[in-house]
Structure 1
């Protein structure tokens, strides 16, 4: 009997307010096959209690976003509930903005002690008392074996409004309270489309709510979109969010190896090349693969003409943080003159265009007039001619496309860092994509297109941004020169005008490489 798993199973229910998430929770509680003692963690305690006349307890959910700043509070709360001995099952109703993957990681991933966080707390005398207490509780949980000793993930459920699903990929709405207007409110940084994709990609079961109001074509397309984003998910059509408990309670559907390995990544890493994935629902997905770099100016022009183009810049974030720290010190010292001097000396980094409703509305109009009108999702890595050491990471959802620093190309990773790459990834690189001259440099972007998607036109548009034969010869001549990677990047940037369209990329591996070059020179 010692082999019996006594951990409390957890089902996470995701979805947007008004799409049937709370109704789904109510149906689960009303239809549970066994008389399970169930607790619901929710931010809508009163609503759930009013909907369900049962013995189920509702607890105000803390730290629901799952991000680092709240994870310790959420961990502590789940641990306390599990240790009451009162419950057989736990339901978590996530907020609109919560990423279900991050919530599941809190439950299912082995906890590690973060010494850096401990040092930060010691240095910060103004750490919130609640955070401090939660941090102490996490240390206690670690000593007892971590949260995985008390609870386990069972099912990830996502409720979508079937009628609105395709339109939501062109939405101008934000999750949270509305348009992003508060830098401290992380929930408002994501568009509804971003949050929707995250919820679908991680789900074990996706419920198409209001199915009876949908045409057969709409049902077919909606299911096709879900399957293109997540092949493993079961798609169920319902009305009034009538979710049956037997489908989501003790289902055992959660599989960490599959759940934490999203569909787009599986398709990209397909050793057979991952050609077209057109499914029976008239939704097409494929992997755009090329072994020629993009010209930075033409690529940026294509992105800006077709999307709301934003960029992630660690360099800009670090610079702004440094300015804020300096100004706080000045305020404390009441040095107004010094503050003015700092303001004057600021060298403004490349500004990232903010995600606002106005910008998204404008982007939707541009996108609808482009070859990308029916594109629903794009994610992967790209090779830009002006960067020798590191690739770019691209992500498009609806009318928004972002670019950022991705992984360092395999050939440039210092030997002592290669061990951090999984054996499967190393095998894929060596056996499938490796080139004797350029290593693993390539374009590898997973693309999902909705109804009326024209793959050929999309590929032609992307191909037009690649280097021409003459430009590629110029690239090769610079690439072959014996010089440091940063000198090489500088020369490539001069050769291919337009690199300024891409903000500075900063990566720990690049900095490690810089340190290595300095050591070699010495």
Structure 2
């Protein structure tokens, strides 16, 4: 924030700062830079998260600043624990309850994520929750640090890989390659003290909600018809595990408990024999592994609804199995020095055998946690 305001290049910049702590440290730092409230229109937003309890306040504040008409750009520093998609949605729809339509007053230009290069791998493997770090919104906020960090990386237009002066060049370049693999659409810039050319982050016109929603590396990998092998610089690679046979719940549970350490990121859909009607969604980053319901398989729909869905999505019909419909395992793995052959082999052992395919799957012992349903 200090860097942007000091180098604003003639722009009239309004800054909205949201900090979860009682003392708004970030806002204090900006103030200490010598910027008056009247000129810079510094707005502090406290006691809540920008993506939930303060969303209404955010909309009102942006509308007020836009209506004043004497600024060129608004920079919003959301809390480090803010989820990016709800923040972005604030600028893409009309809030009828508040009577605010920001789409007529401003547009979202760029989503920027700052990654602490010196702490990334520590955060990645810490297994800490926001509550562990006393940063949760309340006592029920069980989100893990790495999940939030990955969400912010995968949704960004620009990623600032900061504090690279604390790493060797090879380590910084390797981490940059990992970030590029996690989000190939984003521009990754190595920085010290977050100093970056303003033209890289202001007035870029980079943000597109639909494109950002599909920018994550795992989604791109899943949607590719044919996987193109990478040069595998730094040993970073990815692949999709696809199988049209269900997973045995006990064997799959054991596989999850012995997660390969060389996998950095995994996400996708899985078919569990003991939960034949419901698709599962697996998401892994670091030590965090989550499974949840991803909705019923289309094969379970009533005939009329199923046919209508297949008519609207012909690509599904092209992959339709006569016996099992759209049920499939499609898991994307991104990692460093991954033993791909071993991962595939051990996952294949989790699939039902020919004999088990003829058994009553409902009788299989299922030790996996119950599916949670995404809100």
The TM-score normalised by the length of structure 2 is 0.87
Please list, as runs of the form range in 1=range in 2, the aligned pairs for 1:401-440 lying within 5 A after superposition: 401-414=289-302, 415-416=304-305, 423=312, 426-431=313-318, 433-440=319-326
The match for 1:303 among 249, 256, 260 is 256
Deviation at 1:166, TM superposition (A): 2.8
Asked whether the 8 Å contact 1:295–1:384 carries over to 2, the reply is: yes
Give the distance between the partners of 1:277 and 1:64, measured in 2 at CA: 43
Look up the SS of the partner of 2:261 in the other structure.
Answer: coil
Q: Which residue number in structure 2 is paired with residue 221 of structure 1? A: 174
1:257 corresponds to: 210
The 2-side partners of 1:239 and 1:422 are apart by: 52
Secondary structure of 1:236 counterpart: strand
Match of 1:501 in 2: 368
Distance between the aligned counterparts of 1:506 and 1:427, measured in 2? 27
Q: Which residue number corresponds to residue 361 of structure 2?
A: 492
Map of 2:17 onto structure 1: 41
Aligned residue for 1:241, secondary structure, equals: coil
Which deviations, in whole Å up to 9, do the C-alpha atoms of 1:335-374 show, x marking residues without a partner?
Answer: xxxxxxxxxxxxxxxxxxxxxxxxxxxxxxxxxxxxx112
Contact 1:224 1:282 in 2 (8 A): no
Q: Is the 8 A contact 1:64 1:98 kept in 2?
A: no
Q: How does 1:44-443 map to 2 (within 5 A)?
A: 44-53=26-35, 55-61=39-45, 65-107=49-91, 109-111=92-94, 113=96, 138=98, 140-141=99-100, 146-175=101-130, 178=133, 184-185=138-139, 188-263=141-216, 264-270=218-224, 272-274=225-227, 276-277=229-230, 279-306=232-259, 372-414=260-302, 415-416=304-305, 423=312, 426-431=313-318, 433-443=319-329
Secondary structure in 2 matching 1:61: strand
Give the CA deviation at 1:215: 1.9
Deviation at 1:92, TM superposition (A): 0.8
User: Which residue of the partner structure matches residue 343 of structure 2?
Assistant: 458
Indicate the SS of the match to 1:294: coil
Cα distance in 1 between the residues matched to 2:248 and 2:203 = 52
Q: Does the C-alpha gap of structure 1 residues 66 and 59 become closer, same or farther in structure 2, counting only changes over 3 Å?
A: closer
Please state which structure has a larger fraction of its residues in helix: 1
| 1:443 to partner: Cα distance | 0.6
Q: Is the 8 A contact 1:285 1:447 kept in 2?
A: yes
For residues 368 and 167 of structure 2, the distance between their equivalents in structure 1, rounded to whole angstroms, comes to 43
Distance 1:50 1:68, change over 3 A: closer
Work out whether residues 40 and 56 of structure 1, in 8 Å CA contact, stay in contact via their aligned partners in 2.
no
Q: Which residue of 1 aligns with 2:2?
A: 26
Distance 2:133 2:75 in 1: 27
Give 1 or 2: higher strand fraction.
Answer: 2
**How far does residue 28 in structure 1 lie from its aligned partner after superposition?**
1.3
**Matched residues in 2 for 1:231 and 1:445: separation?**
18
Superposed CA deviations along residues 355-403 of structure 1, whole A, max 9, x for unmatched, are xxxxxxxxxxxxxxxxx11211111110011122211111111112111
RMSD of aligned residue pairs (Cα, Å): 2.8
The alpha-carbon distance between structure 1 residues 48 and 176, as it changes in their structure 2 partners (threshold 3 A), is farther
The 8 Å contact of residues 395 and 402 in structure 1, kept in 2 or not, is answered as yes
Rounded Cα–Cα distance in structure 1 between residues aligned with 2:112 and 2:137: 30
Q: Is the 8 A contact 1:64 1:103 kept in 2?
A: no
**Contact 1:28 1:244 survives alignment (8 Å):** no
Per the TM alignment, residue 35 of structure 1 is displaced from its structure 2 partner at its CA by 2.9
Change (3 A) 1:420 1:97: farther
Gap regions ≥5 residues in structure 2: 20-25
Residue 506 of structure 1: how far off its partner (Å): 6.5
Q: Flag the 1:506–1:33 CA change in 2: closer, same or farther, 3 A.
A: closer
> What is the aligned residue count?
365
In structure 2, do the counterparts of structure 1 residues 175 and 441 end up closer, same or farther at CA, with 3 Å as the change threshold? same
Separation in 1 of the partners of 2:311 and 2:183? 23
Q: Which runs of 5+ in 1 are unaligned?
A: 1-24, 114-134, 307-371, 475-490, 509-522
Task: Provide Cα deviations, 1:211-256, integer angstroms capped at 9, x if missing partner.
Answer: 2332232122101211111001111111111122221111111122
Separation of aligned partners in 1, 2:166 and 2:134: 30
Q: Which has the larger radius of gyration?
A: 1
Structure 1 distance, partners of 2:73, 2:131, is 28
Classify 1:175/1:210 alpha carbon distance in 2 versus 1 (closer, same or farther; 3 Å).
same
Secondary structure (helix, strand or coil) at the match of 1:91 reads strand
SS of the counterpart of 2:274? Answer: coil
Is the alpha carbon distance of 1:176 and 1:152 closer, same or farther for their aligned partners in structure 2, counting shifts above 3 Å?
Answer: farther
